[in-house]
Amino acid sequence: MKLLIFDIDGVLVDVTNSYRLAIKKTAEFFLGKILNASDVENVKNRGINDDHEATETLIRENGGDFRREVIIKKFQEYYLGRKMDGFIKNEKCLITEGVLKKLKKYKLAVFTGRPRPEAEFALDKFKISKYFKEVTCMEDVEKGKPDPEGIIKILKKMDVKAEDACYVGDNPADARAAKSAGVKFIGVVPPNADKIYTKNILKSEGAEAVLNSVDEIVKVV
Please state the rounded mean pLDDT for residues 93-104.
97
Extents of the domains making up the chain:
3-14+91-219, 19-89
Distances (CA, A) of 142 to 29, 112, 146: 30, 13, 12
How is 146-215 classified by DSSP, letter by letter? TSSHHHHHHHHHTT--GGGEEEEESSHHHHHHHHHHT-EEEEEPPTTS-HHHHHHHHHHTT-SEEESSGG
* pLDDT exceeds cutoff 90 at 178: yes
**Mean of pLDDT over the chain:** 96
pLDDT in tens, 149-167: 999 999 999 999 999 999 9
Residue type, 171: N
Fold designation for 3-14+91-219: Rossmann fold (3.40.50)
Strand order in the sheet with 184-188: 134-136, 107-111, 3-6, 165-169, 184-188, 209-211
Question: Hey, CA dihedral for 123, 140, 175, 90, is it positive or negative?
Answer: positive
pLDDT in tens, 61-95: 999 999 999 999 999 999 999 989 999 999 999 99
pTM of the model: 0.93
How is 117-136 classified by DSSP, letter by letter? HHHHHHHHHTT-GGG-SEEE
